C-alpha cells in the first residue's frame, strides 16, 4: 500500500502530493495525453476555445465552454477543430494536410483502425471522410495522377456531409479536380458554390475560375477573373490573404502575356506586404518573382536568388519547394554549374518523387 504524506502544510500539501502522484501515474501509463485532451478544441485566428462542439455548419462552428457560453467561430477564421474522442492518427493526418503534406496525411489516416471508430461521434466520422477525400484529391493534383478515384471520394464526402465546416474547401477541391479532368463547365459550377460563403470564399471563387483559365493559357481572361477576385468588397484578414494569392495569380498571367516588369512589381509588392510567418504565401511570391525574372531571358541570376530563397527559407510548402528545385536544376545547368544542378535535381527526386515537377524534370521539359 502506498501512503501519501503531506509536506507539513496540511490538506493543501496532501492535495498537491496527490495531484503529483496522479500525474506521474498518467505519465508512466501513457494516458496523460488523453487526460489533457478530454474536451473539444476549436483553434481559430482569434485564439483557442475549449469545451463541447455543439454545432457544425458550412459557415461556422459553435463551441460551448464550461460556463455554458456558446462561441460562434466563422469558418474563414478556423484553423482546426480537434474532437476529444478522435483517434490520434486522424488528428495527426489533419495536421499534415494543413501543412500541405497530403501524401503523408493519406498514409497517416490509413493507420486508423475500425475499432477506434466504434461509437464515434458523427463529427469524427465526417473528419475521417474529409481527410481521406482531401488528401487523395491533393495528391492527384500534385502528381498529375488520374483524378477519378479522388473525385469519387470528394463527391461522396459532399453528398454525405454537406453541412461540414470543410464544405467550401472540398467544393473548391472538386472544382480543381474537374478542371484537371478537362470538365471546365462542371468546374465552374463547383467554384460558384464558394461564392455563397463568407467574403474570403467569394475571393477564392473568382480566383479558382481564374486559375483554371491560367492553366489553359487563356491569360487575358484569367487576368479579368483575378481582377474580379481583387475587387470583392472584403477587407478582413482572411480575405486579404486570399487577395494576395489572387494578385500572384494575376502576375503569372502577366508573365504569359510577356508583361514581365508588371509581374515583377506585383510579386515584389506581395513579398513586401506579407508577414514573415506567411511562409506559403511568400513561397508562392518568390516563385512568381523567379518565374518573371526567368521569362525576361536576361535575369537568370535574379531568378536564381528568388528560387534559392524558397529552397532555403520558405520550403515548407511541398509544391512550391518542388517548383523552385525544378527551376534551380535548369538555372544551375545554364550557369554551367552541373554539380549544383545535380544536387537540386537529387533533392527534387528524393523529396517529391511523385510531383508534377519531378515528372517534368524526368521528361526533360524546359520552361
- List, for the chain, all residue ranges whose pLDDT scores fall below the cut of 50: 1-36, 367
Domains of the chain plus CATH, in order, are: 42-81 (2.30.30), 85-297 (1.25.40.10)
pLDDT of 22 reads: 40
Distance from the Cα of residue 80 to its chain's centroid: 11
Residue 62: strand, helix, or coil? strand
pLDDT at 2 (0 to 100): 31
3-state secondary structure of 355: coil
Reduce the DSSP state of residue 63 to 3 states and report it: strand
Which DSSP string do the residues of 177-191 spell out, in sequence order?
Answer: HHHHTT-HHHHHHHH
**How far apart (Å, rounded) are the C-alpha atoms in residues 103 and 150?**
13
137 close to 177: Cβ distance less than 8 angstroms: yes
Record the pTM.
Answer: 0.79
The helix (H) or strand (E) run that includes residue 205 is helix 199-215
At 16 the pLDDT is: 44
Give CA–CA dist 163/56, Å, rounded. Answer: 7
Amino acid at each position: 500500500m502506498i501512503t501519501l504524506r503531506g509536506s507539513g502544510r496540511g490538506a493543501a500539501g496532501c492535495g498537491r502530493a496527490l495531484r503529483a502522484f496522479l500525474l506521474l501515474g498518467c505519465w508512466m501509463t501513457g494516458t496523460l495525453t488523453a487526460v489533457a485532451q478530454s474536451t473539444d478544441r476549436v483553434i481559430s485566428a482569434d485564439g483557442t476555445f475549449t469545451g463541447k462542439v455543439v454545432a457544425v455548419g458550412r459557415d461556422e462552428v459553435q463551441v460551448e465552454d464550461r460556463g455554458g457560453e456558446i462561441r460562434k467561430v466563422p469558418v474563414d477564421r478556423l484553423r482546426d477543430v480537434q474532437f476529444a474522442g478522435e483517434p490520434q492518427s486522424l488528428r495527426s493526418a489533419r495536421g499534415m494536410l494543413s501543412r500541405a503534406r497530403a501524401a503523408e496525411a493519406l498514409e497517416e489516416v490509413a493507420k486508423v483502425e475500425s475499432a477506434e471508430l466504434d461509437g464515434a461521434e458523427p463529427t469524427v466520422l465526417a473528419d475521417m471522410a474529409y481527410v481521406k477525400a482531401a488528401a487523395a484529391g491533393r495528391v492527384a493534383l500534385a502528381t498529375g495522377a488520374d483524378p477519378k478515384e479522388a473525385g469519387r471520394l470528394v463527391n461522396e464526402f459532399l453528398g454525405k456531409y454537406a453541412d461540414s465546416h470543410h464544405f467550401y474547401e472540398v467544393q473548391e477541391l472538386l472544382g480543381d479536380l474537374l478542371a484537371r479532368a478537362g470538365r471546365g463547365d462542371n468546374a465552374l459550377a463547383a467554384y460558384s458554390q464558394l461564392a455563397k460563403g463568407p467574403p474570403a470564399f467569394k475571393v477564392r471563387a473568382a480566383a479558382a475560375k481564374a486559375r483554371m483559365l491560367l492553366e489553359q493559357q487563356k491569360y487575358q481572361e484569367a487576368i479579368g477573373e483575378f481582377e474580379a477576385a481583387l475587387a470583392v468588397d472584403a477587407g478582413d484578414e482572411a480575405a486579404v490573404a486570399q487577395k494576395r494569392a489572387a494578385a500572384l495569380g494575376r502576375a503569372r498571367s502577366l508573365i504569359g502575356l510577356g508583361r514581365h516588369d508588371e509581374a515583377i512589381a506585383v510579386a515584389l509588392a506581395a513579398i513586401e506586404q506579407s508577414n514573415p510567418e506567411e511562409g506559403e504565401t511568400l513561397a508562392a511570391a518568390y516563385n512568381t518573382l523567379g518565374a518573371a525574372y526567368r521569362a525576361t531571358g536576361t535575369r537568370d541570376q535574379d531568378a536564381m536568388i528568388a528560387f534559392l530563397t524558397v529552397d532555403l527559407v520558405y520550403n515548407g510548402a511541398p509544391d512550391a519547394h518542388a517548383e523552385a528545385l525544378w527551376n534551380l536544376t535548369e538555372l544551375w545547368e545554364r550557369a554551367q554549374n552541373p554539380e549544383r544542378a545535380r544536387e537540386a535535381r537529387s533533392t527534387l527526386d528524393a523529396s517529391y518523387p511523385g510531383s508534377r515537377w519531378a515528372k517534368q524534370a524526368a521528361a526533360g521539359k524546359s520552361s
